[in-house]
Amino acid sequence: MKALSKIRRPKGYRHPELDNRLRRSRTKAEADIIHRAKRSGVPTPLLYHVDPDNAVIVMEYIDGVKVRDVVDMLSDEERKELFTRIGGYAGRLHGAGIIHGDLTTSNILKQGDRLVFIDFGLAEVSTEVEKRGVDLNLMNRMLTSTHYRHQEELLAAFVEGYRETLGAEAEEALTRMEEVAKRGRYIEKK
């Protein structure tokens, strides 16, 4: 099996103390939460080795493509099915107390029919409605900025899947997502 070593390199533009703190804490968070996500039934890479002091994780190499890069190549039916599944996994993450923190189509890989969630460096453990809303807003922003041709249908499919797996708690989080989007100072009021 092929492995991948993910190294968080120092960012020269960041103060070294701040940079070390972030690289270390994100490496730890990523490792902890990848395990937790897997237990909740969301596919993630297998971890082989974690070294927070050097900000290195060795993990399974997923030979897939970013969902971001395949959206426009799918049929309407396939696209809808894909985003219902993604919404379903997002609901499972939230249900298991996981906030992804960078929930976008760049951080979900498609390997044949299998979907794999990656990049949990900004993830945290929480069941707060606010954090769920912010997480969902990230996906919606990605749809608006990058998948604008299909934004409405993809959001509807995502929401359908999200409701299916998270159940009754989904409504509050979805309402909060809309509130978060309106919160910036200059947003059209509806």
Q: What are the strands of the beta sheet with 108-111, ordered from one edge?
A: 65-66, 108-111, 114-117
Which one is catalytic: 69, 102, 119, 135?
Answer: 102
Asked if 102 is an active-site residue, the reply is yes
Give residues in contact with another protein (CB under 8 A).
Answer: 11-15, 17-19, 21-22, 101-104, 106, 122, 134-135, 137-138, 141-142, 144-146, 148, 180, 183-189
Q: Please list, in sequence order, all residues whose beta carbon lies within 8 angstroms of the beta carbon of residue 178, skipping any fewer than 6 positions away.
A: none
In the complex, least distance from residue 128 CB atom to another protein, rounded to whole angstroms: 13
CB of 76 to another protein, least distance (A): 19
Q: Which of 141, 146, 159 is nearest to 70 (CA)?
A: 146
Cβ neighbours around 1 below 10 Å, total = 6
Which CB atom, from 81 or from 151, has the smaller least distance to another protein?
A: 151
Nearer of residues 72 and 171 to another protein, judged by Cβ: 72
**Distance, CA of 126 to CA of 143 (rounded, Å):** 24
Between 69 and 172, name the residue whose CB sits nearer to another protein.
69
Q: Is 116 helix (H, G, I), strand (E, B) or coil?
A: strand
**Least separation, in Å, of the C-beta of 180 and another protein?**
6
Give catalytic residues, as residue numbers.
Answer: 102
